[in-house]
């Protein structure tokens, strides 16, 4: 009997209302956002209630869902006002809240009945018994701890009907499911209440401290100072495993990332899911293109986290690093005149007449061309556009759509480090 596969949702980060709209336009089935309370990204562009309502309306009109992260660890007094806040979100039509603290879970369940509750990855759920515990308390979905292996994920899926949400792309935390006090110690900013200063990403020195002698820095004797900084996760090649093992939601990390990042990564995972649901052969045919596309956005080196093995020193950022081609996000299309093949674009970075650029859009559409007939908003011919957010016009060789993005292609060398430690250099 042929196994029927369930299509997982692609869940994208949305740190601002603009990013919410971009994520949905580029294929996200759902987005997760932060309100102005109870979340873990105090420096993200968190939503006001007015923005929240606009975002929910925008998503629902396009068949997408919105979840709000309320995953902080509460200290005494932090929970004040949570009941009214949850009720307001429920009445707006929010699809679910993502919570980790039992106090907030109880408050939401009792004071805002009807609002769906998902368990945050901060709660470190690593086995099916834990899933069943939360199911008895009324939760419908659990965000898997990042420390779970693929074999453990498969076993959890066999033993529980609770929805599984699992991370597939983005930053990894050096601490267990993000529960860290390093930031508290180093900068007096509470990571578990939204103030993480990412102390694990800092540069540190390493010392030799012989008994009774002066400490001696080993800097210069090792390739780089001691690092706690993990590489980023990327599961684009392993989407078949996620789907075959019944993951309900594929989560992309990055509420503080740019619209270039959100659009690109969402586009890739949407294309990957669509292709595999059509056929394994279709997925294999586009897999390399998906990998290449993901390397066009700014990010750290990539690995598969804990899914297939316990990370080693190779999944930490230190020593020689892999260099990748540089692509710069330079603009987005706001209008298109098909008769004259003229695109009106909103500039995001400096654009020069003659620049080699790539246009891309939802549905994994791409084409390359050169900036031609560059004019400013008043119709003046210009050679260089240095002003951020300026409206410009260019002539394009193919049709484009509002919302399409533009990257500048920068030629250079790519240093690819091999598994044996050697390297080869190829021209980008």
> For 164-199, how does the pLDDT look when each residue is reduced to its tens digit (9 = 90+)?
999 999 988 777 666 667 767 777 776 655 667 677
How many angstroms separate the most distant Cα atoms in the chain? 81
Higher pLDDT, 171 or 416: 171
Do 375 and 392 contact (CB within 8 A), yes or no?
A: yes
Residue 230 per-residue DSSP state: B
Tokens standing for residue 167? 């991370």
Do 102 and 82 contact (CB within 8 A), yes or no?
A: no
Do 95 and 114 contact (CB within 8 A), yes or no?
A: no
Tokens standing for residue 11? 């869940």
Tokens standing for residue 211? 């008994």
pLDDT in tens, 56-81: 999 999 999 999 999 888 888 888 88
pLDDT in tens, 108-166: 999 999 999 999 998 999 999 999 999 999 999 999 999 999 999 999 999 999 999 99
Which residues, including other chains, have CB under 8 Å from residue 404's CB and lie 6 or more apart? 332, 333, 359, 360, 361, 365
Map the chain to HEC letters.
Answer: CCCCCCCCEEEEECCCHHHHHHHHHCCCCEEEEECCCCCCCCCCCCCCHHHHHHHHHHHHHCCCEEEEEECCCCCCCCCCCHHHHHHHHHHHCCCEEEECCHHHHHHHHHHCCCCCEEECHHHCCCCHHHHHHHHHCCCCEEECCCCCCHHHHHHHHHHCCCEEEEEEEECCCCCHHHCCCHHHHHHCCCHHHCCCCCHHHCCCCCEECCCCCCCEECECCECCCCCCCECEEECHHHHHHHHHCCCCEEEECCCCCCHHHHHHHHHHHHHHHHHHHHCHHHHHHHHHHHHHHHCCCCCCCEECCCCCCCCCHHHECCCCCCCCCEEEEEEEEEEEECCCCEEEEEECCCEECCCEEEEEECCCEEEEEECCCCECCCCCECCEECCCCCEEEEECCCCCCCCCEEEEEECCEEEEECCCCCEEEEEC
- Superfamily of domain covering 9-172+230-311: Aldolase class I (3.20.20.70)
Q: Is the pLDDT of residue 259 over 60?
A: yes
Instruction: Tell me the pLDDT of the chain averaged across its residues.
Output: 87
Quick one: pLDDT at residue 424? 40
pLDDT in tens, 82-117: 999 999 999 999 999 999 999 999 999 999 999 999
Percent residues over pLDDT 90 in the chain: 65
Every domain of the chain and the residues it spans: 9-172+230-311, 326-411
Quick one: pLDDT at residue 397? 96
Quick one: pLDDT at residue 194? 61
Mean pLDDT calculated for residue range 32-47: 70
Strand pairing partners for 303?
233
Q: Label residue 320 by pLDDT band (50, 70, 90).
A: low
10-14, 102-106, 120-124, 397-401, range with the lowest pLDDT? 120-124
Q: Is the pLDDT of residue 241 over 80?
A: yes
Helix (H, G, I), strand (E, B) or coil at 115: coil
Q: Is the pLDDT of residue 285 over 80?
A: yes
Q: Is the pLDDT of residue 233 over 70?
A: yes
Q: Label residue 398 by pLDDT band (50, 70, 90).
A: very high
Mean pLDDT calculated for residue range 315-340: 81
H helix or E strand, kind and range, residue 399: none
Do 145 and 125 contact (CB within 8 A), yes or no?
A: yes
What's the CA gap between 225 and 217, in Å, rounded?
10
Q: At the topology level of CATH, where does 326-411 sit? A: Elongation Factor Tu (Ef-tu); domain 3 (2.40.30)
Helix, strand, coil share (%) of the chain residues, nearest 5: 30, 25, 45
Mean pLDDT calculated for residue range 392-407: 97
What's the CA gap between 178 and 222, in Å, rounded?
29
Neighbouring C-beta atoms of residue 75, cutoff 10 Å: 11
Neighbouring C-beta atoms of residue 317, cutoff 10 Å: 16
Establish whether domains 9-172+230-311 and 326-411 are of one fold.
no
Mean pLDDT calculated for residue range 298-326: 77
Do 364 and 347 contact (CB within 8 A), yes or no?
A: no
Quick one: pLDDT at residue 427? 35
């Amino acid at each position: 009997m042929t196994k029927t596969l369930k299509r997982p949702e692609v869940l994208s980060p949305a740190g601002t209302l603009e990013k919410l709209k971009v994520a949905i336009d580029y294929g996200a089935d759902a987005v997760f956002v932060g309100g102005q309370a109870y979340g873990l990204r105090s420096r993200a562009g968190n939503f006001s209630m007015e923005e929240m309502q606009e975002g929910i309306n925008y998503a629902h009109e396009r068949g997408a869902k919105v979840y709000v992260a309320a995953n902080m660890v509460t200290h005494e007094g932090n929970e004040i006002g949570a009941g009214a806040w949850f009720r307001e979100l429920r009445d707006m039509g929010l699809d679910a809240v993502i919570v980790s603290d039992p106090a907030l879970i109880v408050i939401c369940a009792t004071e805002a009945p009807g609002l769906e509750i998902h368990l945050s990855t901060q709660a470190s759920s690593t086995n099916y018994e834990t899933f069943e515990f939360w199911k008895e308390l009324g939760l419908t979905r659990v965000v898997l701890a990042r420390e779970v292996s693929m074999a453990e994920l498969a076993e959890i899926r066999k033993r529980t009907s609770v929805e599984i949400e699992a991370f597939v792309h983005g930053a990894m935390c050096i601490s267990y499911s993000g529960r860290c006090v390093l930031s508290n110690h180093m900068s007096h900013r509470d990571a578990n209440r939204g103030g993480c200063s990412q102390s694990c990403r800092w540069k540190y020195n390493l010392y030799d401290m012989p008994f009774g002698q002066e400490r001696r820095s080993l800097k210069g004797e090792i390739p780089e100072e001691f690092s706690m900084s993990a590489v980023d996760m990327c599961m684009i090649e392993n989407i078949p495993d996620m789907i075959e093992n019944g993951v309900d939601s594929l989560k992309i990390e990055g509420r503080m990332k740019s619209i270039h990042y959100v659009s690109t990564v969402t586009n890739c995972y949407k294309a990957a899911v669509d292709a595999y649901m059509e056929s394994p052969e279709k997925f294999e045919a586009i897999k390399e293109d998906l990998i290449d596309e993901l390397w066009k956005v700014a990010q750290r080196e990539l690995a598969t986290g804990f899914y297939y093995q316990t990370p080693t020193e190779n999944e930490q950022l230190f020593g020689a690093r892999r260099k990748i081609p540089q692509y710069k996000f330079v603009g987005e299309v706001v209008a298109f005149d098909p008769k004259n093949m003229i695109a009106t674009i909103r500039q995001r970075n400096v654009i020069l007449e003659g620049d080699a650029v790539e246009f891309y859009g939802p549905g994994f559409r791409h084409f390359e061309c050169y900036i031609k007939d560059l004019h400013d908003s008043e119709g003046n011919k210009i050679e260089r556009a240095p002003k951020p957010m300026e409206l410009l016009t260019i002539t394009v060789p193919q049709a484009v759509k509002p919302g399409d993005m533009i990257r500048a292609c920068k030629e250079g060398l790519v240093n690819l480090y091999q598994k044996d430690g050697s390297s080869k250099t190829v021209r980008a």
